[in-house]
Amino acid sequence: MVRVYFSDITNCEYDQREVDNFHMLRRDYVNSINDPERKRQSALCWMLLQKAMADANVSGNFSVDVKGKWRIIEGGAKFSISHSGNMIAVAIGDAEFVGVDVEKISDKVLILQKKLGEIKPVNMSNTEHITREWTKKESSFKAGKKCEYYSRKVYDKIGEEYFLTLCTNDKFEKFEYVDFKTIYKYKYV
């Protein structure tokens, strides 16, 4: 069973003390990010993963394999994280393959159309369709193979649209929105 947690991080900042309490590998990874926005997104993603792990009753240390994929050493749980703009997402479960991707819907994705090849027309804008197909491709890559896709459109607090897609070979439980104000003591600006 796989569950996806997602959260809008508009106006949300992390406390460096939270990062300092991460497992060594995660802490070093987040602290190595130079771009302040990417660092913020990454730190908040890892904090969302902590909530997801607690909900799934999963604990353990992390490792990174030779391909750069993060793993939980103990137990059989798999996870995947993603961030784009003001949206972050975490998928976690005991499936063999788990991949999640979130992508802001914008004309910027039109340059990806060549990488996707020919795509079938559907009843949505070209930008929306390409974004959804891109999240399928990215979530497949993260999962390690093509599986079943579960997609939905989500919105941040300022009305920007995103596609959120899970790729897994197991049963999908649900998409769950998490409001950071209810689980962490963040500084909101």
Query: In this prediction, what percent of the chain has a pLDDT beyond 70?
Result: 89
Please give the DSSP secondary-structure letter assigned to residue 185.
Answer: -
Task: Work out the pLDDT band at 189, boundaries 50, 70, 90.
Answer: very low
At 188 the pLDDT is 41
Q: What is the average pLDDT across 173-183?
A: 84
Average of per-residue pLDDT across 65-79:
84
Q: Is pLDDT larger for residue 129 or for residue 41?
A: 41
Q: How far from 114 is each of 107, 109, 139, 149, CA to CA, in Å?
A: 14, 10, 18, 21
- Global pTM exceeds 0.75: yes
**If you average pLDDT over every residue of the chain, what do you get?**
87
pLDDT of 184 = 65
Mean pLDDT of 174-184: 82
The pLDDT assigned to 13 comes to 85
Instruction: Determine the pLDDT at residue 126.
Output: 78
